[in-house]
Protein backbone atom coordinates (compact mmCIF):
# COMPACT_ATOMS: atom_id res chain seq x y z
CA UNK A 1 0.00 0.00 0.00
CA UNK A 2 2.76 2.43 0.91
CA UNK A 3 4.59 1.78 -2.37
CA UNK A 4 1.38 2.32 -4.32
CA UNK A 5 0.72 5.61 -2.53
CA UNK A 6 4.28 6.71 -3.12
CA UNK A 7 4.07 5.90 -6.84
CA UNK A 8 0.77 7.79 -7.09
CA UNK A 9 2.25 10.86 -5.39
CA UNK A 10 5.36 10.67 -7.58
CA UNK A 11 3.16 10.53 -10.68
CA UNK A 12 1.14 13.54 -9.51
CA UNK A 13 4.34 15.46 -8.83
CA UNK A 14 5.66 14.62 -12.30
CA UNK A 15 2.41 15.76 -13.91
CA UNK A 16 2.42 18.99 -11.92
CA UNK A 17 6.02 19.65 -12.89
CA UNK A 18 5.20 18.98 -16.54
CA UNK A 19 2.28 21.46 -16.39
CA UNK A 20 4.52 24.04 -14.74
CA UNK A 21 7.22 23.61 -17.40
CA UNK A 22 4.64 23.83 -20.20
CA UNK A 23 3.27 27.03 -18.68
CA UNK A 24 6.77 28.51 -18.42
CA UNK A 25 7.46 27.70 -22.07
CA UNK A 26 4.13 29.19 -23.14
CA UNK A 27 4.84 32.36 -21.15
CA UNK A 28 8.26 32.70 -22.76
CA UNK A 29 6.77 32.15 -26.23
CA UNK A 30 4.07 34.76 -25.64
CA UNK A 31 6.54 37.29 -24.29
CA UNK A 32 8.82 36.80 -27.30
CA UNK A 33 5.86 37.30 -29.63
CA UNK A 34 4.70 40.41 -27.79
CA UNK A 35 8.22 41.86 -27.68
CA UNK A 36 8.72 41.26 -31.40
CA UNK A 37 5.35 42.76 -32.30
CA UNK A 38 5.78 45.80 -30.07
CA UNK A 39 9.30 46.49 -31.34
CA UNK A 40 8.07 46.28 -34.93
CA UNK A 41 5.17 48.58 -34.05
CA UNK A 42 7.45 51.16 -32.45
CA UNK A 43 9.93 51.09 -35.32
CA UNK A 44 7.21 51.38 -37.96
CA UNK A 45 5.58 54.41 -36.34
CA UNK A 46 6.72 57.50 -38.16
CA UNK A 47 5.48 59.62 -35.27
CA UNK A 48 8.13 58.24 -32.93
CA UNK A 49 10.79 60.81 -33.60
CA UNK A 50 11.29 62.25 -30.16
CA UNK A 51 13.12 59.99 -27.71
CA UNK A 52 10.57 60.82 -25.02
CA UNK A 53 7.88 59.28 -27.27
CA UNK A 54 10.02 56.19 -27.62
CA UNK A 55 10.52 56.03 -23.85
CA UNK A 56 6.75 56.23 -23.37
CA UNK A 57 6.23 53.39 -25.84
CA UNK A 58 8.84 51.27 -24.09
CA UNK A 59 7.15 51.90 -20.73
CA UNK A 60 3.84 50.77 -22.21
CA UNK A 61 5.51 47.60 -23.52
CA UNK A 62 6.99 46.90 -20.10
CA UNK A 63 3.58 47.27 -18.49
CA UNK A 64 2.01 44.88 -21.01
CA UNK A 65 4.74 42.29 -20.33
CA UNK A 66 4.21 42.56 -16.58
CA UNK A 67 0.46 42.14 -17.01
CA UNK A 68 1.01 39.10 -19.23
CA UNK A 69 3.32 37.52 -16.64
CA UNK A 70 0.83 38.19 -13.84
CA UNK A 71 -1.97 36.64 -15.90
CA UNK A 72 0.07 33.50 -16.57
CA UNK A 73 1.10 33.24 -12.92
CA UNK A 74 -2.55 33.46 -11.90
CA UNK A 75 -3.45 30.75 -14.41
CA UNK A 76 -0.74 28.53 -12.99
CA UNK A 77 -1.93 29.15 -9.44
CA UNK A 78 -5.34 27.77 -10.44
CA UNK A 79 -3.82 24.46 -11.62
Give the predicted TM-score (pTM) of the model.
0.46
- pLDDT, tens digit, for every residue of 14-23? 888 888 888 8
CB 72 within 8 A of CB 27: yes
pLDDT of residue 65: 81
Residue among 47, 29, 46 nearest 37 (CA): 29
Local confidence band at 29 (pLDDT 50, 70, 90 cut-offs): confident
Find the angle CA(19)-CA(15)-CA(71) to the nearest 5 degrees.
Answer: 20
**Residues above pLDDT 70, as percent of the chain:** 81
Q: Where are the alpha helices (DSSP H) in the chain?
A: 2-44, 51-78
What's the whole-number average pLDDT of the chain? 77
Dist CA 42 CA 60 (whole Å):
11
Amino acid sequence: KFVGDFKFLAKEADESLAKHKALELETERLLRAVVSQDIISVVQKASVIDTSDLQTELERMKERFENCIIKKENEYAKL
